[in-house]
Amino acid sequence: MLFFRADLVPGLTLAIAEDSIYEYIEQTLHRTIQTSKRRMTVERATHDDERYLDLGDYNCLAVIESQTFDADGIQIEWTQSRHHPERFAFEDTATRRHV
């Protein structure tokens, strides 16, 4: 599931989504995307999960929720994705800036 605030991302079309929503937000709407927060959990599978993800013997899956904020700290996007345990991997890279 992917949701954008309609009042902050007006005119969003399928054609824009197939290209780059973030480019549209920054280049056309002149909003700066500043921060994204992600939360990863393991949750019990719902009936829809079992129906669409072919979980087999698994009764849980990985769930990622994301919130994206503009430079004014206003949330413009909320996303939730649900992942089969055998196809989910978490990788992270941290870079420390020295000042």
| 39: helix, strand or coil | strand
State phi, psi for 89 to the nearest 5 degrees.
Answer: -140, 145
Neighbours of 32 (CB within 10 A): 9
pLDDT tens-digit readout, 19-62: 999 999 999 999 999 999 999 999 999 999 999 999 999 999 99
Check residue 95 and give its pLDDT.
Answer: 82
In the chain the domains, ranked by start, together with CATH numbers, are 2-87 (3.40.1410.10)
- The separation between the first and the last C-alpha atoms of the chain, rounded to the nearest angstrom, is 39
Residue 78 has pLDDT above 90, yes or no: yes
DSSP-assigned letters across all residues of 45-96: PPHHHHHHH--TT--EEEEEEEEEEETTS-EEEEEEEEE-GGG--------P
| Token pair belonging to 2 | 């992917």
Check residue 37 and give its pLDDT.
Answer: 95
Label residue 26 exposed, middle or buried (CB < 10 Å: 0-12, 13-18, 19+): middle
Check residue 49 and give its pLDDT.
Answer: 95
Residue 98 has pLDDT above 80, yes or no: no
